[in-house]
A and B are shown apart, each in its own frame.
Chain A
Amino acid sequence: MDLNVDIGSLRLKNPLIAASGCFGYGVEYAEVVNLKTLGGIAVKGLFLSEREGHNPPRIVETPAGMLNAIGLQGIGVHRFVAEKLPDLYSQGATVIVNICGSTIDEYVEITRILADADGVNAIELNISCPNIKAGGITFGNSAVGTSEVVQAVRSVTKLPIIPKLTPNVTDIAGIARAAEEAGADAVSLVNTFLAMAIDVETRRPALSNGVGGLSGPAIRPIAVRMVYECSQAVTIPIIGMGGIMTARDVLEFIIAGATAVQVGTANFVNPNLWPKLLADLKEYLSRHNIERVQDLVGTLELTETQVWNSS
């Protein structure tokens, strides 16, 4: 059985990737997860410099999901390369570095640093974090902004580039198309949905940041629809995510058109869900006589009346 999937020039040993922001820098989980068995690890979003992030409370639980507004606390790309990357490399992890910038120059600078480091397998462009005011989402909110960032980063690296898209737009397929035309190797989607929860006793937002990003099973059907929508608009691979808890959820994304998937919030509940996800995925493929997982990508069966295209 062949579980390999290709994201541009990068071959993943299986389609299961730990989602950025939900797996620390990977090394935190080395005691309970054999890191090299994952298809990939998308590490926590990195700016050029260290960032403090928002004050707590940073998370609040909501029905079948959670809101977060961490504010991209992080150690910056230099400390990541010096302190975390060698450990990931030595453990055989496939490392997708998620990067974020306030300016296009910052994306380019971070990319240059990573391109010179050993152990970076791909770069995920965070142009979709809903929790910071400047940068990132400023670009991801529009096709033009997305295109500018992708083109700039493309010009300085041959590493696979994966812009991570926000669902907080009217036309996500249009943005995916812009990313492809600008030279992206794949797109990943979706980041969290901008959301708010209120403490009715105090009449204050539950999060110190006021608003946050909703993740977890609550968002999964919307994410699946968006993956399907984008799969109709682009030919590059799609990495799907949004509330995956089980292999059944993984399969839904793959059938909708995702070549690989990322698992985020479920890590918090069960940090070692990976072996079971993989085993259940294999069981499905075996039961359906599918030799290569890539053969399942985008195999959604539609009747004539179900064919739907947003654009």
Chain B
Amino acid sequence: MRRSSNSWSYVGMKVSKRDHVSLAEGASKHSCDITVTAPCSSSRVTDDAGRPRPNRSHILEHCEPSRSSRYTANMPVDVDACVTSNVHLSDDYNVVRLDAPKLAVSIQPGQFVMIKPIAGLEPLLRRPFSIFEVLTNRNGVRTGFALLNKRVGIGTELLYSIEVGHRIGCLGPLGVPFTVVAPPHEAWLVAGGVGLAPFLTLAADLRGHGTATTLFYGGRRSADLYYLDAFTQLGVRLVLTTEDGSQGESGLVTAPLERALVASAVSAQPTLYACGPTPMMSAVASLATAHGRPCQVSLEPIMGCGMGGCYSCVVPIRKSGNDPAHLVRACLEGPVFDGQRVVWDRLQHVA
């Protein structure tokens, strides 16, 4: 279903949640016509030829230099990306592939794009999406990327029904990526539901480093677990759970994770990566702390611009220990954060 004559490497993503807050959904769901069928093209957003790249450390307000310097690795571009395929995984989920070589060239695992499925005023704002796959041609050259979409509102409904040949405004790549660990460290990825999104790209990158990788992946039922073959082909060990017991262990994904942490040899040195519902990420971060393991989480706040302009996507982060929390912009200083720096009680309160 997801294979073509082209080969591509896998990249991860998560689904936009901002659609949940669209109040005008009922009235406007059918008010937008998708009419753009112009030839595929892309253009660089910046006209800054020759200008030195700005120093990101002036932009970030609460970040360590190491993170900000990593962010300087790429610059966002704005492209009109042509839809090359739209595969429906279920009545709710689909994967949209986009032709966007200029954007794809600098994508790092954990980064996101701001997309606008149609021109016009409804919906007005772009939606944040994690990058699900990086697409490459036969020569390994990056040609585009894919989005995993779950329809929950106006924007995601449009993306679910988008037709091949249409163009989607894509601004990115944006955000602080995951820090990829190398042997002797192991990588344990913990995904809940659509939180699988950023992990395909991360797993591909980890395997490129030769890092032993395990995916703990929980869903409500067997049919909610996607892309298992893709992870298996990357050599990722799978630990599956479903709430109804229809596949893997019955219950929540944190149960086998905790057992594994208790049983893990000191030599395994796992680094945890988590994406999913906030309670799950909070529990994973707690387990990581209890077992003295590092944990990176990918947060999904409501986002307005993705550029740091609007201050909508703030999340409560502390610098260290018991420092007071700051509300920091997830688009610039995240979406990937050290799980131990997230003030989870407050995040759940405000989310």
Segment of A138-146, A264-272, A281-289 engaged in the interface with chain B: A264-272
CA distance A102 to B351 in the complex (A): 29
The interface residues of chain B lying within 8 Å CB-to-CB of A245 are: 121
Name the CB-closest residue of A to B305. A268
Inter-chain contacts of B75 with A (CB < 8 A): 31-32
Answer whether residue A236 sits at the interface, using C-beta atoms and an 8 A cutoff: no
Q: From residue B324, how far is it (CB to closest CB) to chain A in Å?
A: 10
Out of A58, A62, A267, which one reaches B312, CB within 8 Å?
A58
Does A65 sit within 8 A of B, measured CB to CB?
Answer: yes
Q: Does A56 contact B (CB under 8 A)?
A: yes
Partner pick for A268 among B46, B301, B304, CB 8 A cutoff: B304
Q: Contact check: which of B61, B124, B309, B351 meets A23 at CB < 8 Å? A: B309
Interface pair B78/A61, CB less than 8 Å apart: no
Contacts of B171 in A (CB 8 A): 271
Q: How far is the CA of A10 from the CA of B101 in the complex (A)?
A: 43
Q: A33-B46, A63-B24 are in contact. Are A75 and B124 (CB under 8 A)?
A: no
The answer to whether A56 and B23 touch across the interface, beta carbons within 8 angstroms, is no
Residues of B within 8 Å of A101, CB to CB, are none
Interface residues on A, range: 35 or more
25 A-B residue pairs with CB within 8 Å: A24-B310, A27-B54, A28-B59, A29-B307, A30-B54, A32-B45, A34-B47, A53-B314, A55-B349, A56-B301, A56-B314, A57-B350, A61-B23, A63-B24, A64-B124, A66-B124, A70-B310, A70-B312, A208-B350, A268-B309, A269-B125, A271-B78, A271-B305, A271-B307, A272-B46
Chain B contacts to A: CB under 8 angstroms: 18, 21-24, 27-28, 45-48, 51, 53-55, 58-59, 61, 75-76, 78, 116, 121-126, 169, 171, 301-302, 304-305, 307-315, 326-327, 332, 349-351
User: A residues near B, CB below 8 A?
Assistant: 21-24, 27-34, 37, 44, 52-53, 55-66, 68, 70, 73, 75, 83-84, 87, 91, 197-199, 206, 208, 216-217, 245, 265, 267-272, 275
Excluding A53-B311, A73-B314, 12 further A-B contacts by CB distance (< 8 Å) are A24-B59, A28-B309, A31-B53, A31-B75, A32-B46, A32-B48, A56-B313, A62-B23, A63-B121, A68-B310, A73-B327, A217-B124
